[in-house]
Amino acid sequence: MTITFRSYAKINLTLDVLGRRADGYHEVRTILQSIALHDHITLERIDGGIEVICPDRSIPTDERNIVYRAAALVRERADIAAGVRIHISKRIPVGAGLGGGSSNAAVTLLGLERIWNLSWSPEEWLDLGATLGADVPFFFYGGAALGVGRGSEVYPLPDIRLDHLLIVWPMISVSTAEVYAALDGRWLTKSPPRSNITVSCETAWRAWGYPHRLLGQAIQAGAGGNDLTEVVGARYPEVNRAMERLRQFRTRCIRMSGSGSAVYAVFATDEDLQEAAEALSGEPWRIIQTRTIGRAEYWETLIEKKGTQGAVAPRQR
């Protein structure tokens, strides 16, 4: 049995860091949104063991890879002899704050559920994902979502449609752990939590109406922010330079995604986006044109099964 997944990337539309928790992690409020940029992950059931294959030699294929760890964790908990061969085709930059590793892990878990015929509850899969990484549970939902706690407590929101996104990756891989370790009081959100745009999403999630429309307008107008931007920019000046270059164009919003190093700009028109993309083509960066994808499209296109016609409908969570 072989299954191929699209492993979609994400951007953080806002990211507030409220402080360090008693468990050593940081309390965050973030809005995440899936985008069309994706890797491909193919899982094949084999007789035993775990094999990870990736043509990109910079990607480890042993226990250092989150996909390998996901498979090992499931195999141990399920206590099964069957194995899996996982092929990774990377397009999402590594260490860019676009959730590539977390997305790869999430779709690997979805695939293992099928090829190993597991019948665990959605809650069990979510908990398992959260042990692998704070962003992993988001990829069980797709679309737009509010992330709270470490970011692993996820509440779906109505989709936020952004058709003209330009991502700039300065070809730098950033360690999320190192960024959070460098945080101090200077970088944290100072406003009372209930005034933050990300926390106000709880109201939008319940109402699914007028507050959400205001939220979408606010994001496109550049409201909100990312509390990690300054600390990342201080350590990696090329991130600041990428954001400065983007400010030279007709953008509606410029932001760093997650803990970086990728930054993105929202444009009102494709013409404005193409002008910026062409002007930036001479920079030593990777330039990616993409868009957001809603939850329905996310699930409709997530899984394809080799040897059959059409998509395999995933079980909604």
222 and 298 in a single domain? The answer is no
199-235 tens-digit pLDDT: 444 444 444 343 445 455 555 555 568 989 999 999 9
Mean pLDDT (whole number) for 300-307 = 73
Is 10 designated active site? yes
197 and 300 in a single domain? The answer is no
136 and 265 in a single domain? The answer is no
In a domain, 314, yes or no: no
Domains identified in the chain, total number: 2
251 and 232 in a single domain? The answer is yes
User: What pLDDT score does 26 carry?
Assistant: 81
From the candidates 39, 47, 62, 135, give the one annotated as an active-site residue: 135
71 and 177 in a single domain? The answer is no
CA distance 294 to 36: 10
Is 190 designated active site? no
From the candidates 10, 159, 227, 272, give the one annotated as an active-site residue: 10
In angstroms, the Cα distances linking 67 to 42, 195, 232 are: 11, 38, 26
Mean pLDDT (whole number) for 134-153 = 90
Confirm if 197 and 225 have CB atoms less than 8 A apart. Answer: no
232 and 142 in a single domain? The answer is no
142 and 170 in a single domain? The answer is no
121-143 tens-digit pLDDT: 999 999 999 999 999 999 999 99
Is the model's pLDDT at 187 over the cut of 70?
A: no
Give the domain range for residue 98. 2-159+294-305
7 and 101 in a single domain? The answer is yes
Confirm if 150 and 26 have CB atoms less than 8 A apart. Answer: yes
In a domain, 313, yes or no: no
113 and 181 in a single domain? The answer is no
CA distance 261 to 280: 17
7 and 150 in a single domain? The answer is yes
What is the bridge-based pairing of β-strands 165-169 and 286-290? antiparallel
In a domain, 112, yes or no: yes
In a domain, 311, yes or no: no
92 and 192 in a single domain? The answer is no
User: What pLDDT score does 20 carry?
Assistant: 78
Contacts of 16 (CB under 8 A, 6+ apart): 28, 29, 30, 189, 193, 196, 198, 199, 225, 227
